Amino acid sequence: MTADFIDHNDYCGPLNLYNFPYIECGTDLHFLSNVQDKHNTYLVNSNWHVTVPDGYDTYIIVALGESLHTDLLNVQGRKIVILSENTIEMPQLPDTHYFRMEHLHWYTNTNSYCGEFFKKMDRKPLANRQYLFGCLNQRPDNHKEVIINSLLQKWHDQLQYTWVGKPENPNFIQKYNIPKKVISGHQWNVNNNILNDSRLIWVTESMFDSCDNMPTAYLSEKTIKAIVTKSMFIICGQRLSYKRLRDCGFETFESHFNIDWDNEWDDVRMSNLLNLIETFDYSLDRQDLVDYNYNHFYNDFFKQTDAKNSLVKEEILEVING
């Protein structure tokens, strides 16, 4: 018996053959080593479309990333679905159990494969930074292009940005002729002038379009980069992005900016973001708030998140081992 699919972080195969590597989600799957009947348990830890074989009692479907392929729920047998961003509200399917674990912290864990870029270090105070705004973009998306274009039109002299414009996203349709700008070094690195010399980061998250059956917003290292560099930020992401970040214990500047549109759907959120860019007239001096976020990330965030996830892991094992 062999695994059916292995590619970097992805694995599809019997649980007894899974070697629990230290991957993007860190050690968050190591608790599955406590499953009693591993031979009759099939693990799907992949964002790819895969074919799942019949004949297993239990299927563990892990979606600690951007997507969950709901066709995997059609296999016969008990399904244990472990989610992060994509908390899915749907009619309960027979023998299907949904669990949510917070995954955001593993993007930036200082012990993970990408964590070397997020090690704690001194950051320049807001008052000493040269630019008002920064905005980093690697993969082109329609919402990113709209935000960058609006920022350039209004704040060209006070904006640092990157825009690669590579056709890596087949759904991207170019509308504006935005000058290409790149920074040297690894794309994960937070030690660049844009993050360290801008008072506020316009965080163009990977995903903007929201789904009514996925009420937990997708967030990534892009938001964390602003936090660890002691920057103020505005999130240009999915509906309820601010709520998810608040639930993780972070300060999201509601007391300073008018962002009461977090609960609105996509067109309304984008309209409000563009209006905020056009009319922006806020001071960017809340050193107390960026210090709080910085200290919360390095002192409390991981411990609190791991404690919550531990309770979920216990519930999962109770269902599987029942």
Rounded Cα gap, residues 16 and 58, in angstroms: 13
Look at residue 125 in the predicted model and tell me its pLDDT.
Answer: 97
Look at residue 262 in the predicted model and tell me its pLDDT.
Answer: 94
User: Are the C-beta atoms of residues 85 and 218 closer than 8 Å to each other?
Assistant: yes
Q: How many CA atoms lie within 13 A of 211 on its CB side?
A: 15
Amino acid type, 51: T
C-alpha distances in Å from residue 23, one per residue of 13, 28, 56, 289: 17, 9, 25, 32
- pLDDT 10s digits, 190-210: 888 899 999 999 999 988 998
Instruction: Count the neighbouring beta carbons within 10 Å of the beta carbon of residue 315.
Output: 11
Q: Are residues 143 and 291 in the same domain?
A: yes
Give the model's confidence band at 150: pLDDT under 50 very low, under 70 low, under 90 confident, else very high.
Answer: very high
Look at residue 108 in the predicted model and tell me its pLDDT.
Answer: 66
Q: Are residues 147 and 73 in the same domain?
A: no
Q: Are residues 249 and 130 in the same domain?
A: yes
Residue 11 has pLDDT above 80, yes or no: yes
Look at residue 236 in the predicted model and tell me its pLDDT.
Answer: 97
Rounded Cα gap, residues 294 and 119, in angstroms: 11
Closest C-alpha to 52, from 80, 73, 81: 73
Rounded Cα gap, residues 183 and 214, in angstroms: 34
Look at residue 156 in the predicted model and tell me its pLDDT.
Answer: 95
List the 10-14 sheet strands across, edge first.
Answer: 5-7, 10-14, 41-45, 58-63, 78-83, 96-100
Q: Which span out of 48-57, 137-146, 228-237 was modeled with the highest average pLDDT? A: 228-237
Look at residue 292 and tell me if it is in a domain.
Answer: yes
Q: Are residues 274 and 128 in the same domain?
A: yes
What's the chain's average pLDDT? 85
Residue 181 has pLDDT above 70, yes or no: yes
In Å, the largest CA–CA distance within the chain is 63
Residue 111 has pLDDT above 60, yes or no: no
Look at residue 88 in the predicted model and tell me its pLDDT.
Answer: 58
Q: Which of 101, 128, 149 is the last residue of a domain?
A: 101
Residues 123, 199, 238, 117, Cα dihedral to 10°: -20
User: Are the C-beta atoms of residues 44 and 61 closer than 8 Å to each other?
Assistant: yes
- pLDDT 10s digits, 256-305: 888 889 999 999 999 999 999 999 999 999 999 999 999 999 999 989 98
Query: What mean pLDDT do residues 216-240 have?
Result: 92
Residue 5 has pLDDT above 60, yes or no: no
Give the model's confidence band at 64: pLDDT under 50 very low, under 70 low, under 90 confident, else very high.
Answer: low
Q: Output DSSP code: residue 301.
A: I
Look at residue 165 in the predicted model and tell me its pLDDT.
Answer: 66
Q: Which of 71, 101, 131 is the last residue of a domain?
A: 101
Q: Are residues 142 and 172 in the same domain?
A: yes
Lowest mean pLDDT among 82-86, 225-229, 244-248: 82-86
C-alpha distances in Å from residue 113, one per residue of 106, 185, 219: 10, 16, 19
Which two three-digit tokens encode residue 144?
A: 């990113």
C-alpha distances in Å from residue 198, one per residue of 159, 160, 191, 226, 231: 8, 8, 12, 10, 7
Residue carrying the six token digits 């973009």: 137
Count of domains forming the chain? 2
Q: What is the CATH number of the domain that holds 162?
A: 3.40.50
Look at residue 81 and tell me if it is in a domain.
Answer: yes
